[in-house]
């Protein structure tokens, strides 16, 4: 049981900036929470890495950060990290973990055409976990899996203030749009937390309107429930909590990224690496 007399503490972890989309939703639901966000951009992207190597890295990062920050909940704001390492992290540490998985069940519930696409990294669409979700929750829908090799990198670059062409984005999302007879894809699951960073451009570049399903609001609700179960009263008359972000690369953000981080109430912390999470909370 955590100390409910202090503000709740949330540790977020992602391979880069994608977790900001989850943090934004969590800030709305739990504004009083103190946040440490570890952006493991030195290892970005997670998708191509061997699973054992990634699990070891996350165990080091999370273990050291738990000691330094003592969070009440850890949020794996990354689909790859969740599908690869969530079980190992839960088996190793007693703190609650909230993961991120493709929102296939709600997509199957809201589609009217019966055509749903899952836009994710190649690793996520290939994993058995994703196929199990489809078999369990989307048997009544025709699901197209789209493993886009570059969209996470494009989103990371865009959020960092670098130019990203419309043509590059349009090429990555094109396979999501399927026509079968008179039916068209009407729901696209965003299976990587980086993708909502491009949401306005995804909408503008779509050949026809679709519902882009972002799991962040559901994740935020789950975080709030976990904190409530641990004795915290969340989101009721509380002041804004502090927030810190630590980049494992130690990079200096461009002004546009600094503005984005400030909009999320995040200040820059010291550089950390996978074997020294304590510096992030210094």
End-to-end CA distance of the chain: 24
The answer to whether 73 is a known catalytic residue is no
The answer to whether 176 is a known catalytic residue is no
Q: Which residue has the tokens 């990294």?
A: 121
User: Which one is catalytic: 22, 35, 68, 78?
Assistant: 78
User: Which one is catalytic: 22, 95, 188, 192?
Assistant: 192
Instruction: Report yes or no: 41 and 247 within 8 Å, Cβ to Cβ.
Output: yes
Which two three-digit tokens encode residue 6? Answer: 């202090």
Catalytic residues: 78, 192
């Amino acid at each position: 049981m955590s100390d409910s007399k202090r503000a709740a503490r949330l540790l977020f972890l992602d391979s880069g900036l994608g977790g900001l989309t989850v943090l934004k939703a969590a800030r709305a639901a739990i504004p009083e929470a103190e946040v440490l966000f570890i952006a493991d951009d030195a290892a970005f992207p997670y998708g191509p890495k061997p699973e054992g190597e990634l699990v070891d890295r996350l165990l080091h990062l999370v273990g050291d950060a738990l000691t330094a920050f003592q969070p009440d909940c850890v949020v794996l704001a990354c689909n790859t990290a969740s599908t690869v390492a969530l079980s190992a992290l839960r088996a190793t540490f007693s703190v609650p973990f909230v993961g991120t998985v493709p929102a296939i069940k709600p997509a199957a519930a809201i589609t009217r055409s019966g055509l749903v696409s899952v836009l994710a990294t190649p690793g996520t669409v290939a994993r058995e976990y994703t196929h199990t979700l489809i078999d369990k929750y989307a048997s009544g829908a025709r699901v197209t899996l789209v493993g886009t090799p570059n969209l996470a990198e494009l989103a990371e670059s865009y959020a960092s203030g670098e130019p990203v062409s419309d043509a590059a984005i349009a090429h990555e999302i094109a396979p999501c749009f399927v026509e079968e007879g008179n039916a068209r894809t009407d729901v696209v699951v965003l299976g990587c937390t980086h993708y909502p960073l491009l949401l306005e451009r995804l909408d503008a570049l779509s050949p026809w309107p679709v519902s882009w399903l972002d799991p962040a609001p559901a994740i935020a609700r789950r975080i709030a429930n976990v904190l409530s179960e641990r004795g915290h009263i969340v989101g009721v008359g509380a002041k804004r909590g502090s927030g810190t972000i630590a980049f494992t690369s130690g990079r200096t953000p461009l002004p546009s990224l600094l503005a984005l981080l400030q909009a999320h109430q995040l200040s820059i912390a010291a550089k950390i690496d996978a074997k020294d999470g304590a510096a992030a909370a210094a």
